[in-house]
């Protein structure tokens, strides 16, 4: 069950609240607004949902919630939520969130119509109930595979979800296979290949005996002992969503026409369930990203730092933090305007992202500050890396009239700090001290924190 709290009970809050109430996997912990006559406040009271006519931030210290909707339209509220200390919740803001909820609502409507069409298909009704009661992606994926196995009466099955950007399928759930099967969790969709052929179909593909179909006779299938299978393409109006397989370790004779109809209906249910899950995951993705730069926000960074500090302690490996501050940023806003200031922050984000390693974490730390978390990186490597960023910033063309933009950098490495109770706050404090030194000495330089 996902626990949700809404801040802002105006028209936007009412629209989102009306949608949230339709999902049985969401619990609304409360609605907050300073206006007692706000539309969502009245709606919440009618539905016996807790309402709060006070500053919501003290409340969040005591409430256990997973997701906070900021529907105030107030940038100050948004900034405070994104930088909420030690937050255990995600934050969803902006019009994009409402668009995604509209998508989910549309999918719920399609799902309702499908259930009405199921009639006496008791198995499909049971599967529908399983999907609607699933609360996590894993539960949804496992329910889809279980449904495929139950309808076909076959002992094994698997589900792979399609990633359009990477042109890959990702194995997300299996039943009846060995642990070795999961080692082949990612595979490409090649033009003209078997997988592309399956995804291009709108009908299940039945293979009574794979020995008669060389295209299906691959080493992974042979190693598992699969002899017959059904490949069920999951396709939406916008394209492929994934493939559901039902497998047997003996040849099968598929003759029932009702089986195909049941599989078509199962595929329709599976597509909607996966799309709903993906839409909700996009909302959560928005909640850990800074809306201006697209980088991770400070609250997400705090969670990652706790994990990385623990990992560095266990492995006895160095962990470095680089804190970056744009020099004279207030003067840039005053001279060129805030739109140019936003362009600078977006340009720096793209510049830094193109330089950091794939496993480094880059976040917008504050107004004009960035933080880079670098695992298994000592102080010498971190300083050299920060120098690369400094030079890239100095030579980039971010400001009008050829003006030069510079940044100051503070570096701190985990093993330089004594004590066994190091926290993210202490690690950042040390990087901030080094950054202060860089600015005090003239800016546009890199400084390392010393003991």
* Active site residue ranges: 368
Three-state DSSP class for 231? strand
**CA–CA separation, 247 vs 181, rounded Å?**
13
Torsion, Cα 140 142 145 149, to 10 degrees, reads: -130
Whole-angstrom distance, CA of residue 332 vs CA of residue 342:
10
Largest Cα–Cα distance in the chain? 81
Q: What is the dihedral of CA 120, 124, 127, 131, to 10 degrees?
A: -100
**Residues near 237 by Cβ (< 8 Å), separated by ≥ 6?**
none
| Contact assessment for residue 306 and residue 356, using Cβ atoms and an 8 Å cutoff | no
Sign, CA torsion 208/212/215/216: positive
> What residues have CB less than 8 Å from 383, skipping those under 6 apart?
411, 446, 448
**Helix ranges restricted to H, 119-185:** 122-133, 137-152
Q: Which two tokens stand for residue 359?
A: 């496993």
Bridge partner residues of 207 (DSSP): 229
Where do runs of H (alpha helix) occur along 61-121? 75-82, 94-118
Cβ distance 232 to 265 under 8 Å? no
Please give the Cα distance from 27 to 5 (Å, whole number). Answer: 9
| Chain centre distance of CA 24 | 21
Closest CA to 100 of 244, 282, 359, 241: 282
- CA 84/CA 216 separation, integer angstroms: 53
Check residue 96 and report its DSSP letter: H
Q: Distance between CA atoms of 222 and 299, rounded to whole angstroms?
A: 47
From the list 267, 8, 4, the residue with the least C-alpha distance to 147 is 267
């Amino acid at each position: 069950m996902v626990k949700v709290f809404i801040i802002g009970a105006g028209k936007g809050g009412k629209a989102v609240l009306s949608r949230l109430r339709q999902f049985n996997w969401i619990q609304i912990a409360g609605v907050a607004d300073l206006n007692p006559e706000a539309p969502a406040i009245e709606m919440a009271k009618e539905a016996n949902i807790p309402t709060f006519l006070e500053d919501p931030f003290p409340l969040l210290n005591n409430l256990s919630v997973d997701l906070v909707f900021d529907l105030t339209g107030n940038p100050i509220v948004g900034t405070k939520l994104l930088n909420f200390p030690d937050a255990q919740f995600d934050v969803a803001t902006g019009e994009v969130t409402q668009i995604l909820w509209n998508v989910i609502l549309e999918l719920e409507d399609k799902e309702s119509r499908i259930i009405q069409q199921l009639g006496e298909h008791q198995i499909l009704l049971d599967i529908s109930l399983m999907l609607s009661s699933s609360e996590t992606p894993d539960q949804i994926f496992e329910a889809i595979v279980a449904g495929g196995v139950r309808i076909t009466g076959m002992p094994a099955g698997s589900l792979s979800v399609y990633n359009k950007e990477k042109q890959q399928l990702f194995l997300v759930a299996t039943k009846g296979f060995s642990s070795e099967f999961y080692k082949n969790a990612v595979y490409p969709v090649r033009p003209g290949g078997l997988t592309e052929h399956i995804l291009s179909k709108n009908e299940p593909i039945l293979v009574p005996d794979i020995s008669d179909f060389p295209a299906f006779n691959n080493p992974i299938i042979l190693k598992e002992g699969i002899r017959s299978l059904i490949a069920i393409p999951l396709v939406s109006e916008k394209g492929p969503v994934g493939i559901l397989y039902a497998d047997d370790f003996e040849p099968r004779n598929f003759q029932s026409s009702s089986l195909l109809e049941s599989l078509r209906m199962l595929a329709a249910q599976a597509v909607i369930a996966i799309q709903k899950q993906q839409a909700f995951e996009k909302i959560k993705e928005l909640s850990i990203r800074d809306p201006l730069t697209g980088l991770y926000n400070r609250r997400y960074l705090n969670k990652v730092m706790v994990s990385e500090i623990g990992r560095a302690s266990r492995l006895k490996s160095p962990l470095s933090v680089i804190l970056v501050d744009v020099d004279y940023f207030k003067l840039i806003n005053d001279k060129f305007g805030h739109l140019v200031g936003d362009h600078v922050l977006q340009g720096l984000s793209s510049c830094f992202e193109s330089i950091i390693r794939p496993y480094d974490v880059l976040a917008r730390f504050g107004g004009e500050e960035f933080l880079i978390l670098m695992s298994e990186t000592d102080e010498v490597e971190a300083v050299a890396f920060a120098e690369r960023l400094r030079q890239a910033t100095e030579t980039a063309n971010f400001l009008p009239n050829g003006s030069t933009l510079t940044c100051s950098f503070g570096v701190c490495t985990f093993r330089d700090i004594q004590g066994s109770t190091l926290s993210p706050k202490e690690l950042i404090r040390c990087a901030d001290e080094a950054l202060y030194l860089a600015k005090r000495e003239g800016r546009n330089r890199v400084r390392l924190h010393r003991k």
